[in-house]
Amino acid sequence: MKKNILVFMALLLCVSSYIQARTLSPTFSIRYENFVESTDPTAAIGLKLDIDGNRYTGFQVNSDGRDTRLLVGWDWGVVGIGTIDVAAAGAAPVYLAHYTFGVGYEILDGLTTTFEYCMTPDASGDQLDATLGNVNSNSRLRLALSVSF
What is the residue-level pLDDT of the chain in tens, covering all 149 positions?
Answer: 667 777 777 776 666 666 666 688 999 999 998 888 888 899 999 999 998 888 999 999 998 888 999 999 998 999 999 998 887 777 788 888 999 999 999 999 889 999 999 988 877 766 555 545 566 667 889 999 999 98
How far, in Å, CA of 43 to CA of 63, rounded?
5
Helices (H) and strands (E) in the chain, counts: 1, 8
pLDDT value for 135: 60
Q: Cβ distance 84 to 98 under 8 Å?
A: yes
| Spatial distance between the Cα atoms of 109 and 82, rounded to a whole number of angstroms | 27
* Cα–Cα distances in angstroms (integers) from residue 20 to residues 9, 12, 33, in the given order: 16, 12, 36
Polymer length in residues for the chain: 149
- d(Cα 1, Cα 96) in Å, to the nearest integer? 55
Listed by start position, the domains of the chain span 22-148
What is the structure's pLDDT at 45? 96
What pLDDT score was predicted for residue 126?
62
Q: Which one-letter amino acid corresponds to residue 129?
A: D
Determine the residue type at 43. Answer: A
Predicted confidence at residue 14, as pLDDT, reads: 63
CA-only gyration radius of the chain, Å:
19
Class of domain 22-148: mainly beta
pTM: 0.76
